[in-house]
């Protein structure tokens, strides 16, 4: 029995073609992947340097604002020969008297009392509201409350000032039996109301951004929901909470219309009796409590002084330079608060 020999020529002829085709497809895919990688690296380089440029522009803007303020503030001490210590710790601000007196200690104390009082009210209340919206509130309540809180931030400050002048003024006067409701306490309550939307929105976003595994891990270990919020969620959202508090303080520190309308606008040193050597310690403490820690008396802030007097001064005068010095000091105070909070946050993270 015989059989024809099997020819393998067609098969051996197709193998180089198939290998060549596979190699060419692999080379084409590799070339395409390399082009995509180069294109991706190029756009990443563009985005990275664009973000760096934006950050540098922000830093440059802050530096330029400070230099602009110092340009017209420093002549007060070099050309007009006013003592820096006398300017800061002087208790009399009388720019139109003769001789004129430029002491801003009363303005610094008024700004500090109003800002600190509003922060003590708004920061804990804002954090509590943010925790409720992010962790405890039902979905229907959250969908109503969050837009309402954000809408509150859109109300102009002059409108809030009108509300305080017409309504809150009388309530504070009657509740605490004061001669007038135009005092630091009224300004503190209104500033706290204005700080709340900023604090609540940013703090709620920071709490929501905490990974879900933190909550699930804490609950799986047997912790209660409140313990989970306190020991797992809030520490993880610490940077966002600090940012919320700083932005809220900055809002209160830079507010003008509300304090100008309802704080009494009287240039006198709040708690000035504490430095009176003729009073005994017990008399000082009794007066401190009676004055509501400075909240029941009138106050005038640095921003209100600049807003009310800048339009009336002659450019290049001593009064003009003094107002710019007040603005420069206000910028330095804001930067100091920001730097201190950043250092404190880093220490907390390190510990």
How do residues 129-158 score in pLDDT, each as one tens digit? 999 998 888 888 888 888 888 888 888 889
**For residue 6, pLDDT beyond 50:** no
State the DSSP string of 274-295: GG-TTS-HHHHHHHHHHTTTTT
What local confidence, expressed as pLDDT, does residue 218 receive?
87
pLDDT above 90 covers a percentage of the chain that reads 33
Strand partners, 299: 264
**For residue 19, pLDDT beyond 70:** no
**For residue 10, pLDDT beyond 60:** no
For residue range 311-337, list pLDDT tens digits in order.
888 888 999 999 999 999 999 988 888
In the CATH hierarchy, which top-level class contains the domain 74-350? mainly alpha
What does the alpha-carbon distance between residue 62 and residue 114 come to, in Å, rounded to a whole number? Answer: 25
**For residue 116, pLDDT beyond 70:** yes
**Counts of helices then strands in the chain (DSSP H, E):** 16, 2
For residue range 153-204, list pLDDT tens digits in order.
888 889 999 999 999 999 999 998 888 889 999 999 999 999 999 999 999 9
**Closest to 159 measured CA to CA, from 253, 262, 248, 244:** 262
What does the alpha-carbon distance between residue 251 and residue 257 come to, in Å, rounded to a whole number? Answer: 12
Whole-angstrom CA distances from 177 to 169, 170, 189, 207 are: 12, 10, 17, 41
Cα 342 to chain centroid distance, Å, stands at: 12
What local confidence, expressed as pLDDT, does residue 159 receive?
92
The residue whose two tokens read 């220490």 is 347
For residue range 223-256, list pLDDT tens digits in order.
888 888 888 898 888 888 888 998 899 889 988 8
Residue extents of the structural domains in the chain = 9-67, 74-350
Q: What is the average pLDDT score of the chain?
A: 85
Q: What is the mean pLDDT of residues 94-111?
A: 89
State the DSSP string of 214-260: HHHHHHHTT--HHHHIIIIIHHHTHHHHHHHHHHHHHHHHT--HHHH
Estimate the crossing angle of helix 318-350 against helix 105-131, to 10 degrees: 40
What does the alpha-carbon distance between residue 99 and residue 86 come to, in Å, rounded to a whole number? Answer: 14
**For residue 16, pLDDT beyond 70:** no
What local confidence, expressed as pLDDT, does residue 215 receive?
86
pLDDT above 70 covers a percentage of the chain that reads 93
Q: What is the mean pLDDT of residues 271-284?
A: 77
Two structure tokens written together for 286: 């009794």
What local confidence, expressed as pLDDT, does residue 15 receive?
47
What local confidence, expressed as pLDDT, does residue 17 receive?
56
What local confidence, expressed as pLDDT, does residue 80 receive?
83
How large is the C-alpha radius of gyration of the chain? 32
**Closest to 254 measured CA to CA, from 191, 348, 318:** 191
**For residue 8, pLDDT beyond 60:** no
What does the alpha-carbon distance between residue 14 and residue 19 come to, in Å, rounded to a whole number? Answer: 9
Give 296 or 349, the one with higher predicted confidence. 296
């Amino acid at each position: 029995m015989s059989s024809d020999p099997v020819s393998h020529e067609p098969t051996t002829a197709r193998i180089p073609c198939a290998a060549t085709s596979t190699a060419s497809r692999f080379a084409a895919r590799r070339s395409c992947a390399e082009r995509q990688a180069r294109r991706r690296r190029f756009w990443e380089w563009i985005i990275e340097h664009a973000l760096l440029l934006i950050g540098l522009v922000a830093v440059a803007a802050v530096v330029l604002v400070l230099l602009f303020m110092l340009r017209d503030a420093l002549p007060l001490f070099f050309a007009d020969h006013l003592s820096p210590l006398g300017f800061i710790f002087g208790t009399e601000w009388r720019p139109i008297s003769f001789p004129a007196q430029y002491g801003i200690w009363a303005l610094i104390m008024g700004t500090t009392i109003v800002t600190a009082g509003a922060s003590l009210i708004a920061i804990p209340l804002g954090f509590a509201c943010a925790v409720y919206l992010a962790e405890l509130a039902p979905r229907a309540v959250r969908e109503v409350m969050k837009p309402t809180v954000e809408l509150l931030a859109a109300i102009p400050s002059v409108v809030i000032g009108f509300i305080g002048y017409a309504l809150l003024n009388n309530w504070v006067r009657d509740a605490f039996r004061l001669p007038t409701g135009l005092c630091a306490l009224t300004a503190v309550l209104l500033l706290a109301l204005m700080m709340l939307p900023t604090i609540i929105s940013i703090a709620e976003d920071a709490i929501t951004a905490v990974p879900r595994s933190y909550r699930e891990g804490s609950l799986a270990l047997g912790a209660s929901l409140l313990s989970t919020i306190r020991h797992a969620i809030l520490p993880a959202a610490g940077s966002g909470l600090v940012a919320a508090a700083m932005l809220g303080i900055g809002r209160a520190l830079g507010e003008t219309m509300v304090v100008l309308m309802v704080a009494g606008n009287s240039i006198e040193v709040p708690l000035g009796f504490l430095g009176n050597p003729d009073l005994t310690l017990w008399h000082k403490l009794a007066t401190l409590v009676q004055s509501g820690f400075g909240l029941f008396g009138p106050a005038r802030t640095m921003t209100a002084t600049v807003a009310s007097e800048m339009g009336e001064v002659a450019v290049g005068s001593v009064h003009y330079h003094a107002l710019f010095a007040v603005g420069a000091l206000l910028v330095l105070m804001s930067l100091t608060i920001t730097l201190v909070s950043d250092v404190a946050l880093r220490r907390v993270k390190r510990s």
